[in-house]
């Protein structure tokens, strides 16, 4: 992977200036020379650098309010340090374990059921004899991806109300008539299934491209050896897209604790916080609505750190085991 090399080089490059004292001097000299030679490039980069500084690194500094009792009137620097007070109060709070559990349950269910769906869809589409029919299937299954999240969630809420058509359909199979999103046991299935519905088609594109990249000679050779359709899927198609599957799986596992709040906030309600409330939606309610700035920042920072560690370790692990990694 090109990016992997990039990143490895970047690490060795940044580590380079520490080499020797005599080298350092020439490094500094060439850096000055570099500035002089590429003044223009550095100059036009200033807005970009300022953007990252102002809107990415400032908030990282701003996260120190997790260790303070932040009061907007006193500002970040002027607020009192309180150490790990907010972290301790979060870890020992009643909400801690339920939030961790809900976040993990939601995201692992999403992974377990949502991840294989596009792989299977891509293989099935690939097996179609008629290419024009395959195109129709693709166009139709991509469609939900293009509908905005708010509209998707609006449809979910409407269709699963006690008089919605999905509810109606399920009552035919014995489910009691109910507003499904008021039932805490149904939140995770609704979230996961609607996600599969919206993103499987779109997610299959990348696997279809990988399938298209498999050498057709392999299939012909297998056919001559007497392999049937299923054996070809099992022994050629699947191994052919395995690298893609692995790399996408790594990405998903690395993000397992970083569930975004948006969809949850759109479809949950106070009646089902027991199962529906995840870390990010809790941060939103405590912080933005409750203006409990420092506490919610601490919760968010804890979450960011866990995410960061997860991404790094999953990536390292996969590099050791499979020689495939994001960088």
Partner 1 sequence: MRKLTRGEQIFNIFNVLFLFLMIVISIYPMLYVFFAAFSTPSAYMRQGGNKLLFCPVGFSLASFKAVFKNPSIWTGYGSTIFILAVGVPINIVFTMIGAYVLSRKQLRIRRFLSLLILFTMYFSGGMIPIYLNVRNFGLDGSLWALIIPNAINTFNLIIMRTAFEEVPDSLEEAAKLDGASQLTILFKIMVPLVVPTIAVLILYYAVYHWNSWFNAMLFIHKREKYPLQLILRELIIQNSSIFSSELSTSGAEDEMISETIKYATIVVATVPILAAYPFLQKYFVKGIMVGAVKG
What's the Cα-to-Cα distance from 45 to each of 13, 32, 324, rounded to whole Å?
A: 20, 17, 32
Binding residues for partner 1 restricted to 266-285, rule: CB under 8 A:
266-267, 280, 283-284
From the list 19, 23, 24, 143, which residue makes contact with partner 1 (rule: CB under 8 A)?
Answer: 143
The residue count for binding partner 1 (CB under 8 A) is: 102
**Binding flag, residue 124, partner 1 (CB under 8 A):** yes
Q: Is 2 in the site for partner 1 (CB under 8 A)?
A: yes
Residue 322 sits in the site that holds partner 1 (CB under 8 A): no
By CB under 8 A, residue 154 contacts partner 1: yes
Return the residues of window 200-239 that contact partner 1 according to CB under 8 A: 201-202, 205-206, 209, 223, 228-230
Please report, as residue ranges, which positions from 81 to 120 form the binding site for partner 1 (by CB under 8 A). none
State the nearest-atom distance from the C-beta of 239 to partner 1, in Å: 19
79 or 275: whose CB is closer to partner 1? 79
Q: Report the alpha-carbon distance of residue 231 to residue 272 in Å, rounded.
A: 46
Looking at residue 57, the DSSP 8-state letter turns out to be: I
Query: In Å, how far from its chain's centre is CA 129?
Result: 34
SS3 readout for 179-241: CHHHCCCCHHHHHHHHHHHHHHHHHHHHHHHHHHCCCHHHHHHHHHCCCCHHHHHHHHHHHHH
CB of 88 to partner 1, least distance (A): 18
Q: Which residues of 91-116 are buried (b: 16+ CB within 10 A; e: fewer)?
A: eeeeebebbeebbeebbebbbeebbe
Q: Is 29 in the site for partner 1 (CB under 8 A)?
A: no
128 binds partner 1 per the rule CB under 8 A: yes
Binding flag, residue 193, partner 1 (CB under 8 A): no
- Cα-to-chain-centroid distance, residue 75: 32
Using rule CB under 8 A, residue 253 touches partner 1 = no
CA 234 to mean position of chain CA atoms: 29
Residue closer to partner 1, measured from CB, 44 or 270: 44
73 near partner 1 (CB under 8 A)? no
Binding segment (CB under 8 A) for partner 1, from list 39-47, 77-85, 86-94, 102-110 = 39-47
- How many other CB atoms are found less than 10 A from the CB of residue 325? 21
Residue 41 or 112: the one with the smaller Cβ distance to partner 1 is 41
Residue 13, interface with partner 1 (CB under 8 A)? yes
Binding status of residue 246 toward partner 1 by CB under 8 A? no
Does 189 help bind partner 1 (rule: CB under 8 A)?
Answer: no
Neighbouring-strand partners of residue 81: 68
Q: Are 86 and 238 in contact (CB under 8 A)?
A: no
For residue 84, what are its two tokens?
């790990």
């Amino acid at each position: 992977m090109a990016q992997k090399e990039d990143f490895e080089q970047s690490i060795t490059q940044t580590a380079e200036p520490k080499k020797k004292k005599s080298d350092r001097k020439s490094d500094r000299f060439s850096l000055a020379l570099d500035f002089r030679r590429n003044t223009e490039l550095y100059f036009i980069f200033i807005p970009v650098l300022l953007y990252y500084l102002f809107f990415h690194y400032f908030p990282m500094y701003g996260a120190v309010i997790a260790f303070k009792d932040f009061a907007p009137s006193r500002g970040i620097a002027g607020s009192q340090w309180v150490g790990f007070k907010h972290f301790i109060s979060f870890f020992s709070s009643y909400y801690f374990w339920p939030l961790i559990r809900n976040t993990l349950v939601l995201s692992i269910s999403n992974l377990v059921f949502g991840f294989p769906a596009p792989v299977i869809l891509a293989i099935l589409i690939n097996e179609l004899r008629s290419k024009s029919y395959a195109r129709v299937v693709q166009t139709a299954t991509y469609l939900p991806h293009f509908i905005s999240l708010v509209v998707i969630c609006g449809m979910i809420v409407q269709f699963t109300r006690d008089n919605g058509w999905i509810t109606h359909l399920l009552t035919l199979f014995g489910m009691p008539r109910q507003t499904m999103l008021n039932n805490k046991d149904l939140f995770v299935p609704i979230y996961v299934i609607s996600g599969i519905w919206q993103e499987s088609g779109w997610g299959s594109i990348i696997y279809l491209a990988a399938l298209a990249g498999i050498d057709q000679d392999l299939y012909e050779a297998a056919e001559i050896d007497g392999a049937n359709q299923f054996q070809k899927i099992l022994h050629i198609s699947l191994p052919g897209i395995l690298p893609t599957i692995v790399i996408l799986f790594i990405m998903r596992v690395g993000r397992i604790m970083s569930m975004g709040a948006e969809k949850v906030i759109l479809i949950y309600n106070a009646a089902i916080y027991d199962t529906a409330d995840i870390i990010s939606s809790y941060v939103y309610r405590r912080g933005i609505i409750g203006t409990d700035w420092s506490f919610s920042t601490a919760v968010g920072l804890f979450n960011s750190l866990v995410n960061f560690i997860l991404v790094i370790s999953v990536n390292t692990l996969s590099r050791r085991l499979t020689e495939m990694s994001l960088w």
